[in-house]
Amino acid sequence: MKNRIARLALRASALLTLGIGVIAAAPAPAPDPALIAAVSDPARTAAFVARDKARHPAEELAFFGIAPNMTVVELWPGGGYWTEIMGPYLAKGGTYYASLNAPGDKEEDAGVQRWRARVAAQKDRLGTIHETMIGAGHFDIAPPGSADLIVTFRNLHNVMEDGSADQALAAAFKALKPGGILGIEEHRGRNDKPQDPKAKDGYVREDYAIALAKKAGFVLVGSSEINANPKDTKDWVDGVWTLPPTLSQKDKDREKYIAVGEADNFVLKFQKPKH
């Protein structure tokens, strides 16, 4: 425990030295029973459930302060891991926007169709999901000032890659109510290497992410080490995709990468100023 506290103190000191400020990492509040029930639902996709030990969905959403009556926007829902949790959780009293990546990339377009097929197959359970788009000139992710919470999970590197990070964060700021929360989870890059503005290896320095959000007008109000993984050395042949769940090297050194586990991830909580 002493060693862990020392490591966190050193990391905080490093961030302060860079002049960006830091919020001390803190444990997430206990998830409410309805959120635990959504995560525990046996109707969830088995492959998603298998990742819960690495992703801590109930704890992370509780850290962001989700509530069942909120208007929530998810940026780039991917395969639907979070959709299968937040859909049922928000179905009765909340509003859920899924901001899908704009068309134009063949692989990503196919991913959107797979997401839509999964949602259609679980329509009764997931409730109404409002589709919007993000990217390639599409940044109206929700009506201005309507969202209580916007979340994006391991997608900041995507908007960095296509050069739209500033636009995406500005869109989040516009869509949030004053006092609303932006939650960002991302693969944590190494502090001893300059940040690639395109994040081609999938890793983003935590200080870089904080600076991007602050540039958009957000205030950092919390951070969590819930998805930290000290085994991730972040120097893999295919970047973050070398590790699970992608395992880009297939059978080559497969057991080695499985032993490392999913990437080291930071979890940051930002707020749109109330005034």
Would you give per-residue pLDDT tens digits along the chain (275 residues)?
434 433 444 444 344 334 444 566 666 688 999 999 999 999 999 999 999 999 999 999 999 999 999 999 999 999 999 999 999 999 999 999 999 998 888 888 999 999 999 999 999 999 999 999 998 889 999 999 999 999 999 999 999 999 999 999 999 999 999 999 999 999 999 999 999 999 999 999 999 999 999 999 999 999 999 999 999 999 999 999 999 999 999 999 999 999 999 999 999 999 999 98
CB atoms within 10 A of CB 62: 20
Adjacent-strand bridge partners of 128: none
180, 219 contact by CB (below 8 A): no
Adjacent-strand bridge partners of 182: 150, 270
Q: Which amino acid is at 68?
A: P
176, 145 contact by CB (below 8 A): yes
Residue with tokens 């999938």: 202
pLDDT of residue 107: 87
pLDDT of residue 159: 95
pLDDT of residue 130: 98
Q: Which two tokens stand for residue 78?
A: 């991917």
pLDDT of residue 275: 85
CB atoms within 10 A of CB 9: 11
d(CA 189, CA 240): 10
d(CA 224, CA 264): 12
β-strand pairing of 95-101 with 129-134: parallel
Statement: the pTM of the whole predicted model exceeds 0.85 = yes
pLDDT of residue 27: 64
